Amino acid sequence: MTKIYYFDNAATTFPKPECVYKALDFANRNLAFNSGRGIYSSSKQVYEMIQDTKNKLGKLIDADSSTISFESSATESLNLIIYGLDLKAGDHVYISPFEHNAIVRPLYNLQSKVGFTIHIIPFDKQTWEVNLDELHDEFTQFCPKAVFLSHISNVTGYVLPYEEIFSLSKSFGAVNVLDCAQSLGVLNPDKRNIDFAVFAGHKSLYASFGVAGFYDLSNYKLQIIKSGGTGSDSLNHFMPENGSQRYEAGSINSVAIAGLNESLNWLKANPPYNYEKEMTDYLISQLLTIDKVRLFLPKNHKRILGIVSISLDGYSSTDVGSILADDYNICVRTGFHCSPFVHDFIGSMGSQGTVRISISAFTRKDDIDYLIKAIRSL
């Protein structure tokens, strides 16, 4: 195969560590059993591997393994949480302008039936800093039932100031939900004031498609949205009242979880934060040297991790992506990136969205130099 220069790690990290590929192949051949539903040893072994994976995931944010439910995707996890929160007419829900359609679309769909109000948290368009005074006033007037934030924006790489916002919203009694699809494994959140934290195995956790989920750090019992077999209490027509099984209906993807188990080992041995931060800073510094490149950055560039969005004078974002793909074997993502509000906020509607460059622990400085040379040639 021709070498590809892959800068679409925000969509899914590629490649994965070699040990993850090996673990997945091993698991397909040896651990693809139904967890805990059988009383034979293979089924028990799978159950123990899953518990071990939850233990390792728990340690990332100092949470108990029992708080974790595995789902098939971060999208599914967010749907289960959003629909499970029992939002009612008259409620007020807050999101940032950086949110992904995995939050926006379930909220708007539910809102169209239930009739609560969705507020966009005030961020300054110049600095990208949150206006806490204004937010405090808005919370006072329209008490927040729930607040949804991305830990890292999937379009801009911006690390959101979730601590300040959640601290304030918690003082108003809100349920705080953090979408860590772009962060967990590389940059782990501080669990204080977080009620639900969502993760995606195939992104910053360097595992495969098919495993994701959420930590339930709250005392809030979600309503059941997805029901089905749990391999337990089969005569009960309803889901179990307690435990993570409550949210884990259907056969659990033990193979993807075995891959995550191995990627967690790899992340522990090779924590990628420092390297990814260094490469992000290097990428930004190089892009800043190209006149026709417009970078979408906050005042404090240090708050960017892993993802940088740009546009090029005289080009639509799609044109840039096509040229990079066709002439240079460079993979970037172009357009609106499933994020409906951010483009008005950062000013990228005119360029038909952004050219998004996203790196991983496997992005080499040479690859960035090659990309920069290609962009410079446009």
31-70 residues in contact with a second copy (CB under 8 A) are 32-34, 37-43
CB of 239 to a second copy, least distance (A): 6
CB of 339 to a second copy, least distance (A): 6
Nearer to a second copy, 168 or 212 (CB): 212
Cα 337 from Cα 320, distance rounded (Å): 15
Rg (CA), the chain: 21
How is 66-92 classified by DSSP, letter by letter?
GGEEEES-HHHHHHHHHHHT---TT-E
76 lies in the site for a second copy, by CB under 8 A: yes
Amino acid at 172: F
Q: Out of 149, 353, 358, 368, name the contact with a second copy by CB under 8 A.
A: 353
Nearer to a second copy, 43 or 265 (CB): 43
Q: Out of 325, 362, 370, 376, name the contact with a second copy by CB under 8 A.
A: 325
> One symbol per residue from 14 to 33: x for binding a second copy (CB under 8 A), - otherwise; what is it?
xxx----x--xx--xxx-xx
Nearest CA to 114 out of 131, 138, 90 is that of 90
49-55 long-range contacts (CB < 8 A, ≥24 apart) are 49/254, 49/257, 49/258, 49/261, 50/252, 50/254, 50/257, 52/261, 53/257, 53/258, 53/260, 53/261, 53/264, 54/244
Give residues 287-306 in contact with a second copy (rule: CB under 8 A).
none
Give residues 183-212 in contact with a second copy (rule: CB under 8 A).
200, 202, 208-210
Nearer to a second copy, 2 or 274 (CB): 2
Stretch that binds a second copy, among 102-110, 120-128, 137-145, 358-366 (CB under 8 A): 102-110
Contacts of 217 (CB under 8 A, 6+ apart): 63, 67, 191, 194, 195, 196, 197
Element housing 183 (H / E): none
362 lies in the site for a second copy, by CB under 8 A: no
Q: Out of 117, 127, 171, 227, name the contact with a second copy by CB under 8 A.
A: 227
89 lies in the site for a second copy, by CB under 8 A: no
114 lies in the site for a second copy, by CB under 8 A: no
How is 149-173 classified by DSSP, letter by letter?
EESB-TTT-BB--HHHHHHHHHHTT
- Report angle CA 289, 326, 378 to the nearest 5 degrees: 30
Number of residues interacting with a second copy: please give it, by CB under 8 A.
87
CA–chain centroid gap for 351, Å, is 25
138 lies in the site for a second copy, by CB under 8 A: no
127 lies in the site for a second copy, by CB under 8 A: no
Nearer to a second copy, 11 or 290 (CB): 11
CB of 157 to a second copy, least distance (A): 17
